């Protein structure tokens, strides 16, 4: 017993020494991290700048049309700042973005940012529910597969996972609508909510589930939830496949470690070994994976939104695209890109906080 306490004491002291000496290097790491995020943002905007301003043969013509007079053309050219050097144009573009100015949408005649704020909650709602589906189905599947490695259930889960990776999501959505909406009539069709409920709930957050629940409109809440089931399950197929695969591989790593053997030798039940010992270590690693999934679903909902007539950011980008509304397309792309990077950064930070091993 005394041996143990001595050991514990030296360990604590050692840990203290490490954290004190590691402080400047941690600050340095944070600064480095921040710098790389900043660079990613600059690169992201540079790419969209190139797509929107440099690649089109004549951005002025795209806006004014080929019947515009020379004066109108010239005025628009000056207004866009195309007479300035490219690098200066980029800096203007960057400062506009930082002020939330993405230009005006030709289609809706409103500022692009206003449009995005209106359309984004629908995507957020869809991606969030899909991620929840993916997490609550994918993690148990991955654990089950790892525990039964090489047995039939492992192969079945592997095939399900490969299906999730391989299926064209827009097609799966159509087939699901055919079966569950047109055929069996179990679930409602496309859209976020039944037409007769439209506009009853005051849009505070724009997330219908939240708004209706806060205002006590439970009938509308259930209706919206029913509408969410199909599109969210479609979107969740990929999340589920990815999370299950990663959980399995992380679990296998842990189950082969010696501390698991020790736990078994101590006579712990198999359930305790798997969930209390192995899984707790896996959970930390899964934070990054779940973050990645969430970010990719925010983006991946483009095709699902098209099938289910879901008024989200993906549908906004595609309809703008068909109306040659470049400001809206580029604005939407930048916002989705920022969310994508942002969620990844957040999950990375969360991982660093939760996992003590990443501190040194």
**Are the C-beta atoms of residues 359 and 22 closer than 8 Å to each other?**
yes
What's the CA gap between 285 and 355, in Å, rounded?
8
Q: Which residue has the tokens 């043969």?
A: 57
Candidates 299, 311, 349, 352; binder of other proteins (CB under 8 A) is 299
Q: Is 89 in the site for other proteins (CB under 8 A)?
A: no
Smaller CB distance to other proteins: residue 171 or 222? 171
DSSP string over 293-311: HHHHHHHHHHHHHHHTT--
One character per residue 56-85, x = contact with other proteins (rule: CB under 8 A): x-----------------------------
Q: CA angle, corner 104, sides to 101 and 105, nearest 5?
A: 130
Q: What angle do helix axes 218-255 and 152-166 make, rounded to 10 degrees?
A: 120
Q: How far is the CB of 47 from other proteins (least distance, A)?
A: 7
What's the CA gap between 305 and 239, in Å, rounded?
16
Q: Is 162 in the site for other proteins (CB under 8 A)?
A: yes
Candidates 15, 16, 65, 163; binder of other proteins (CB under 8 A) is 163
DSSP H helices, the chain, are 2-49, 59-64, 70-80, 86-98, 112-147, 152-166, 169-176, 208-214, 218-255, 258-265, 270-271, 279-307, 313-322, 326-354
Candidates 177, 209, 224, 278; binder of other proteins (CB under 8 A) is 177
φ, ψ of residue 30 to 5 degrees: the values are: -65, -45
Candidates 1, 55, 87, 265; binder of other proteins (CB under 8 A) is 55
Interacting stretch for other proteins, rule CB under 8 A, among 46-54, 75-83, 201-209, 260-268?
Answer: 46-54
Candidates 223, 254, 281, 296; binder of other proteins (CB under 8 A) is 296
Smaller CB distance to other proteins: residue 134 or 300? 300
Q: Is 257 in the site for other proteins (CB under 8 A)?
A: no
Smaller CB distance to other proteins: residue 24 or 150? 150
Q: Is 166 in the site for other proteins (CB under 8 A)?
A: yes
Tally the C-alpha atoms within 13 A of residue 265's C-alpha that lie toward its C-beta.
5
The residues of the shown chain that bind other proteins, judged by CB under 8 A, are 36, 39-40, 43-44, 47-48, 51-52, 55-56, 155, 158, 162-163, 165-172, 174-175, 177-178, 182, 245-246, 248-249, 252-253, 295-296, 298-300, 302-303, 306, 317-318, 321-322, 326, 329-330, 332-333, 336-337, 340-341, 344
């Amino acid at each position: 017993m005394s041996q143990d306490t001595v050991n514990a004491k030296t360990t604590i002291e050692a840990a203290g020494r490490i954290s004190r000496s590691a402080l400047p290097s941690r600050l340095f790491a944070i600064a480095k991290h921040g710098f790389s995020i900043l660079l990613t943002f600059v690169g992201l905007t540079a790419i969209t700048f190139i797509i929107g301003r440099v690649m089109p043969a004549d951005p002025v013509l795209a806006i004014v049309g080929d019947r515009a007079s020379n004066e109108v053309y010239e005025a628009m050219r000056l207004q866009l700042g195309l007479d300035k050097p490219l690098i200066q144009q980029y800096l203007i573009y960057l400062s506009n973005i930082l002020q939330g100015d993405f230009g005006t949408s030709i289609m809706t005649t409103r500022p692009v940012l206003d449009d995005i704020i209106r359309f984004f909650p629908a995507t957020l709602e869809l991606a969030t529910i899909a991620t929840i589906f993916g997490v609550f189905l994918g993690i148990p599947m991955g654990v089950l597969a790892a525990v039964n490695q090489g047995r039939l259930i492992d192969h079945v889960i592997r095939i399900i996972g490969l299906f999730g990776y391989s299926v064209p999501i827009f097609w799966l959505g159509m087939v699901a609508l055919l079966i569950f909406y047109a055929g069996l009539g179990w679930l409602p069709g496309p859209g976020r909510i039944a037409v007769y409920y439209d506009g009853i709930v005051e849009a505070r957050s724009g997330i219908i589930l939240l708004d209706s629940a806060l205002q006590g409109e439970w009938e509308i809440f259930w209706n919206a939830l029913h509408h969410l089931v199909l599109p969210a399950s479609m979107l969740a197929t990929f999340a589920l496949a990815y999370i299950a695969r990663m959980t399995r591989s992380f679990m296998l790593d842990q189950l082969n470690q010696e501390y698991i053997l020790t736990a078994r030798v101590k006579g712990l039940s198999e359930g305790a070994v798997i969930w209390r010992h192995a899984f707790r270590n896996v959970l930390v690693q899964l934070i990054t994976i779940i973050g990645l999934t969430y970010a990719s679903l925010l983006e991946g909902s483009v095709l699902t939104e098209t099938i289910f007539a879901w008024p989200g950011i993906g549908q906004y980008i595609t309809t703008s695209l068909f109306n040659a509304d470049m400001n809206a397309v580029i604005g939407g792309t930048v916002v989705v890109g920022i969310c994508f990077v942002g969620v990844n950064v957040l999950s990375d930070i969360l991982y660093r906080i939760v996992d003590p091993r990443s501190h040194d």
